[in-house]
């Protein structure tokens, strides 16, 4: 199934795009997506935490993904 990735901050730099389509196995949840991203983009392994919003709502690792979902990758935020 195809999902749409939207990336901000360092995540955007890692995937070298602010938006990208990604083909994943069905079924797939956020935990599986994290493993896929860390395999394809090794730099994700260096981040302390990554949050995901699916169709504008924050979700946890067990949340299932569906065809056409919009997945926002939210990297750790720093600053003051």
Q: What is the pLDDT of residue 75?
A: 87
State the pLDDT at residue 7. 96
pLDDT tens profile 19-63? 999 999 999 999 999 999 999 999 999 887 899 999 989 999 999
* Rounded distance between C-alpha atoms, residue 23 and residue 26, angstroms: 9
Q: Which of 2-11, 49-58, 69-78 has the lowest mean pLDDT?
A: 69-78
How many angstroms separate the CA atoms of 43 and 79, rounded? 21
Domains (range + CATH), the chain: 2-74 (3.10.20.30)
Provide the 3-class DSSP secondary structure of residue 66: coil
pLDDT at 19: 97
Residue 17 to residues 5, 39, 59, 76: CA-CA distances in angstroms?
Answer: 9, 17, 22, 18
pTM attached to this predicted model? 0.89
């Amino acid at each position: 199934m195809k999902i749409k990735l939207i990336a901000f901050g360092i995540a955007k730099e890692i995937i070298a795009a602010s938006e990208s389509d990604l083909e994943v196995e069905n079924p797939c949840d956020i935990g599986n997506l994290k493993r896929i991203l860390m395999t394809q983009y090794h730099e994700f392994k260096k981040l302390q935490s990554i949050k995901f919003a699916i169709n504008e709502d924050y979700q946890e690792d067990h949340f299932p993904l569906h065809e056409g979902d919009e997945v926002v990758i939210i990297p750790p935020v720093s600053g003051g």
